[in-house]
């Protein structure tokens, strides 16, 4: 099966399945899977949480933008972005101008279920995770929608079902152009 002619970028909130679903979809589409946060951690030798601790969110976002610039220059990839990548207009432009942007939408309830045991997310180091996720959704969901070519609901289905459906949606979208 031939790969798509353009990169695919998954955007959406933490816990929407960008990495887990993305790996499966990349395999189905014949694309190389890349996770922006993992690439950043590999390059720096530091976790996202440590970068947040040392450099603050602004420092992390600077590093994220530089990494995104490198990754969007590549070809034949499916890129799982970090949940906050869309906060900068420059990042939104890079994504929209160089590939197909897929917004994996999910509910705060689903995020809470998926992230229940996760203690590694800097933005969730708060006593009221629900309130934090609601605030992030209010701020970020319009930005995800602004750049998305496809909005895909990624909740309440098995990973394999989501991956198959999303791969089919991406193929159909690509053939319509």
* Domain residue limits, the chain: 7-171
Residue 73's pLDDT is what?
Answer: 96
CA distance 96 to 93: 5
Task: Answer for the pair 75, 7: CB distance below 8 angstroms, yes or no.
Answer: yes
Token pair of 151, please? 């909005």
CA distance 37 to 153: 22
Residue 115's pLDDT is what?
Answer: 61
Q: pLDDT (tens digit, 9 = 90+) per residue, 91-109?
A: 999 999 999 999 998 887 7
CA distance 155 to 157: 6
Which pTM was predicted?
0.89
Q: pLDDT (tens digit, 9 = 90+) per residue, 34-77?
A: 999 999 999 999 998 899 889 998 999 999 999 999 999 999 99
Of 120, 165, 176, 145, residue with least CA distance to 25: 165
Residue 131's pLDDT is what?
Answer: 84
Q: pLDDT (tens digit, 9 = 90+) per residue, 73-89?
A: 999 999 999 999 999 99
Architecture of 7-171 per CATH? Answer: 3-Layer(aba) Sandwich (3.40)
CA distance 83 to 37: 10
Q: pLDDT (tens digit, 9 = 90+) per residue, 10-40?
A: 999 987 889 999 999 999 999 999 999 999 9
On average, the pLDDT of the chain sits at 87
Average of per-residue pLDDT across 112-139: 72
CA distance 165 to 24: 11
């Amino acid at each position: 099966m031939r790969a798509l002619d353009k990169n695919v970028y998954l955007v959406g909130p933490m816990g929407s399945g960008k990495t887990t679903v993305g790996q499966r979809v990349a395999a189905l589409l014949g694309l190389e899977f890349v996770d922006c946060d993992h690439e950043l951690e590999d390059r720096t030798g530091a976790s996202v949480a440590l970068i947040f601790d040392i450099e603050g969110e602004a420092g992390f976002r600077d590093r994220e933008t530089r990494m995104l610039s490198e990754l969007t220059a590549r070809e034949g990839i499916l890129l799982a972005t970090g949940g906050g990548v869309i906060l900068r207009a420059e990042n939104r432009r890079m994504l929209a101008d160089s590939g197909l942007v897929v917004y994996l939408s999910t509910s705060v309830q689903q995020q809470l279920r998926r992230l229940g045991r996760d203690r590694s997310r800097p933005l969730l180091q708060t006593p009221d995770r629900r309130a934090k996720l609601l605030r992030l959704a209010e701020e970020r969901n319009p930005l995800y929608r602004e750049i998305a070519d496809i909005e895909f609901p990624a909740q309440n289905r098995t990973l394999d079902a989501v991956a198959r459906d999303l791969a089919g949606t991406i193929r159909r979208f690509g053939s319509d152009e």
